[in-house]
Amino acid sequence: MEGETIKEWLFFDKLCRAFESGNRKQQSLPDYNGRGWHESRKQVMNEFGGLKRSYYMDPQPMDNYEWQLYEYEINKYDTCALYRLEVKRVDGKKIPKGKSSNDSVAGLQNQMATI
């Protein structure tokens, strides 16, 4: 990631159903290294009839980088979902958790078509 401020990967995978954990009943996805992916935001995607969820990793593995996972679930296709894993360089200032980008699924599909 030398010289880059953001890097992202797109992939399809089976739906990862989150589970409730902790006192705040937040949704979490398990991680095999002792970290957790915690749901920070859920939005309805009206144009495709589905949900967009964003997850943040807690604790973050490195101080200078922030990892975020986005899940795009479309109601008609319950066998898999589109995932976007994003890592971005941060300058040490605290970024509010759950800050989500406004990328639409159509925009992601256009990106995938160019790949």
In a domain, 48, yes or no: yes
Q: Tell me if 106 is assigned to some domain.
A: no
Instruction: Give domain status of residue 34, yes or no.
Output: yes
What are the start-end ranges of the H helices in 1-115?
A: 105-114
Sign of CA dihedral 19, 97, 52, 16: negative
Q: Which domain holds residue 21?
A: 6-94
The answer to whether 65 and 49 have CB atoms below 8 angstroms apart is no
CA distance 54 to 70: 4
3-class SS shares of the chain: helix, strand, coil, % to 5: 10, 45, 45
- The residues with which 45 forms a beta bridge, in sequence order, are 50
pLDDT 10s digits, 5-17: 788 988 888 876 6
The string of pLDDT tens digits covering residues 26-46 is: 455 656 565 677 778 888 888
Number of domains in the chain: 1
pLDDT in tens, the chain (115 residues): 566 678 898 888 887 665 555 544 445 565 656 567 777 888 888 887 888 888 888 777 777 888 888 989 888 877 788 889 999 888 765 545 444 455 566 666 666 666 5
| Inside any domain, residue 100 | no
Whether residue 101 lies inside any domain: the answer is: no
- Report yes or no on 102 lying in a domain: no
Please tell me the predicted confidence (pLDDT) of residue 91: 77
